[in-house]
Amino acid sequence: MFFNRMSKEEKAIKLATVEEGFKSVGEYRELLKTVEGLITSNSTDYDKLVSLQQRLGSGMQACTGILQYEIKLSKEQVRAQKEFMDILQPKGLLLLQKLNKILQPYNEQKAAQVQAQAQAAFANFAAPQATAAQASSADELIKLKQLLDSGIITQAEFDAKKKQFLGL
């Protein structure tokens, strides 16, 4: 929608969004400096690097969003827009690639930990059920033995059920 065809309310919302976006360009510039410093220093604070990776991606989205409006910009805003397009966005993409490479082993380790925890939880969940099933089978065999001893079932019926419960 062209800016001059918008209602006053729509224009106010778009202008506020653009102003916020240009504040984001400045914040994004500072974020890039922080990320670059951590990468250069070979930081092993992986939790911080992951947080910065997420902020870098969402900051890029916020800054890119301001470019969609057809609004006449001030000279300062035009400079900020040009800086973002020519310098900050390409630099941000490069830093995101570096962060992804740095964090890949960390993310794989975290994924392996989560998988191990899930397997342990499943094993803990399955073990009591198997024990309950074994106890249930033993109880059934005891009952069947009592039925055999009292003459209610035959030895062949008892042996067949015993094999069934023991999985033979």
Span 81-98, average pLDDT: 83
Instruction: Let me know if residue 116 belongs to a domain.
Output: no
Of 69, 66, 60, residue with least CA distance to 89: 60
Is pLDDT larger for residue 105 or for residue 56?
105
Span 145-157, average pLDDT: 84
Q: What is the pTM of this model?
A: 0.51
Residues 61, 50: Cα–Cα separation, whole Å: 17
- pLDDT higher than 80, residue 33: yes
Segments forming the whole domain that contains residue 24: 3-104
7 and 67 belong to one structural domain: yes
Residues 111, 105: Cα–Cα separation, whole Å: 10
Span 4-8, average pLDDT: 60
What b/e string do you get for 18-34 counting C-beta neighbours within 10 Å, with b at 16 or more?
beebbebbeebbebbee
From first CA to last CA, the distance across the chain in angstroms is 75
- pLDDT higher than 80, residue 20: no
How many domains, in total, are found in the chain? 2
Q: Which of these three, 51, 74, 104, is where a domain ends?
A: 104
Copy the structure tokens of residue 134. Answer: 């074994």
9 and 85 belong to one structural domain: yes
Instruction: Let me know if residue 114 belongs to a domain.
Output: no
